[in-house]
Amino acid sequence: MNDVQELVTRADEVAPEFAATSAAERRALLRGIADVMDAGADELVTIAGEETALPEARLRGELARTTWQLRKFGDAVVEGSYLEAVVDHADPSDVPPRPDLRRMLRPLGPVAMFAASNFPFAFSVAGGDTASALAAGCPVIVKAHSGHPRLSRRTAELVSAAVEAAGLPAGVFGLVEGFEQGLALVDAEPIEAVSFTGSVAGGRALLDRCTARPRPIPFFGELGSLNPVVVTAAADAARGDELAAGLAGSFQLGAGQFCTKPGLVLVPQGSRLIQELPAQVAEEEPTMLTERIAEGFATGRAAATAVDGVEVLAGGGGATAPTLLATDASVLLANAEVLLEEVFGPLTLLVRYADAAERESVLAELPGSLTATLHAEDSDDIDGLVDRLGRLAGRVLFAGWPTGVAVSWAQHHGGPWPATNTQHTSVGMTSIRRFLRPVAYQDAPERALPPELRDDNPLGIPRRVDGRLVPGA
């Protein structure tokens, strides 16, 4: 057997044992992973800096987010509401008569994770996908990203050490590298789901492969996103300079290599923001994470600037130079197939609109996004705008800028295609839902029920009992 087959077979063998672990045991595992990563922070940050060229402060902050995330998932498992436990006692008066029914979410089994390039900690080997799947009770096999191979291997060693220290079998976690190995992982029969963060093209190929299997499996992809921003005329007049500074920081943050980078900004004709922003575009050329990303940025920028009616307001001289483009709504609508393509990197497109009707015509053409941002004043009538933006994106912001994603119960990091291909979030506590499936037990004797569904609720988790929500102990 090759390495992929060995890892998948081992994961499949230990899946029932890992699924049967208690919430306390899984919390101990997640905390153990966080502890060893915190203890190895200096080494991990050094390796990450050498492979990605990201600054030390950014990497330390991302590592802290990653270990905090692991611990929060551990707490969520013990709290128990993620199980969506429901108890419906038998009721002969119901129509039709109801048997005793009890339902909760159970782990899927072995899952495959494809690490991302732009967050070498938070969306990589021990990132949110791995944390949420382990929290659910699913063995995880990670396909490392080629952009940071040494960091991936070292992180995997630490995770494996934490698995061993927790007294769990080695098959709970594994790592593979290479393009062909990634495809073999998707094809392996025991794999129950695939999670991916990356390009639309790459995600679409994996989605098709997941559905083409003899036994299709779920694919959870976080893909491309324009993250549109709407600035009303009142907001532009009141604080155009402030908005320009905020946008400059957001679209250039991390060399524009954030999945929530604002890539398209609707502004009124004669905008103050447009006047103020060019001076705040940096002249330095940042180092991109990989050569492939740098090439994609250059190609996308060239395609956008080749459109008649698109102006380069700042930057664009060097291969990776931050670039500010501007055009009119009519030009965008006539060239949507080019200008509505995400350019991953430090580029944003300002689109001037003449009135609310023209603004709406642009919004109607936009593809799905992870985020949509509205900057308005109290005097603005925004009801229709809020509804429109909510149909475009999974997170609607009313202040600030979309770069930066909190890890919380209320977070949603997903959106209509091509942002994601699923209604689930890939960030926050409810991302665990991707790796669980419901199982109902009918007229089961008490001894056959999981503890979470027994009448005495020994674990004290929140449940819905006979239609009413009952808080946990």
Q: Output the average pLDDT for the chain.
A: 96
Query: Does residue 161 register a pLDDT over 50?
Result: yes
Place domain 229-397 in its CATH homologous superfamily. Answer: Aldehyde Dehydrogenase; Chain A, domain 2 (3.40.309.10)
Query: Does residue 2 register a pLDDT over 60?
Result: no
- Percent of the chain beyond pLDDT 70? 100
Angle at 377 between CA 394 and CA 396, to 5 degrees: 5
- Percent of the chain beyond pLDDT 90? 97
Per-residue pLDDT tens over the stretch 359-395: 999 999 999 999 999 999 999 999 999 999 999 999 9
- Position 153 scores a pLDDT of 98
> Of the candidates 7, 22, 364, 387, which has an alpha carbon nearest to the alpha carbon of residue 182?
7
Angle at 422 between CA 365 and CA 130, to 5 degrees: 130
Per-residue pLDDT tens over the stretch 200-213: 999 999 999 999 99
Cβ density class 141-160: b for 16+ within 10 Å, e for less: bbbbbebbeebbebbbebbb
Helix (H, G, I), strand (E, B) or coil at 9: helix
Provide the annotated active-site residues. Answer: 222, 259
Longest dimension (CA), the chain: 76
Rounded CA gap, 11 and 118, in Å? Answer: 28
Per-residue pLDDT tens over the stretch 427-472: 999 999 999 999 999 999 999 999 999 999 999 999 999 999 999 9
Helix (H, G, I), strand (E, B) or coil at 393: strand
Query: Does residue 1 register a pLDDT over 50?
Result: no
What are the CA-CA distances from residue 101 to residues 84, 108, 441 (Å)?
Answer: 14, 21, 6
CATH for the stretch 3-223+421-470 = 3.40.605.10
**Are 199 and 145 spatial neighbours (Cβ–Cβ below 8 Å)?**
no
Q: What is the distance, to the nearest Å, from the Cα of residue 279 to the centroid of all Cα atoms in its chain?
A: 32
pLDDT band at residue 216 using 50, 70 and 90 as cut-offs? very high
> Of the candidates 283, 23, 230, which has an alpha carbon nearest to the alpha carbon of residue 137?
23
Q: Write down the pTM of the prediction.
A: 0.95
Could you give phi then psi for residue 170, rounded to 5 degrees? -60, -25
Per-residue pLDDT tens over the stretch 70-120: 999 999 999 999 999 999 999 999 999 999 999 999 999 999 999 999 999
- Position 316 scores a pLDDT of 74
Per-residue pLDDT tens over the stretch 8-62: 999 999 999 999 999 999 999 999 999 999 999 999 999 999 999 999 999 999 9
Q: Where in the chain is the domain with CATH 3.40.309.10?
A: 229-397
Which comes out higher in pLDDT, residue 316 or 237?
A: 237
Rounded CA gap, 32 and 442, in Å? Answer: 37
Q: Where in the chain is the domain with CATH 3.40.605.10?
A: 3-223+421-470
Q: What is the mean pLDDT of residues 259-286?
A: 96
Per-residue pLDDT tens over the stretch 390-411: 999 999 999 899 998 999 999 9
- Position 318 scores a pLDDT of 84
Alpha-carbon torsion (456, 459, 465, 471), positive or negative = positive
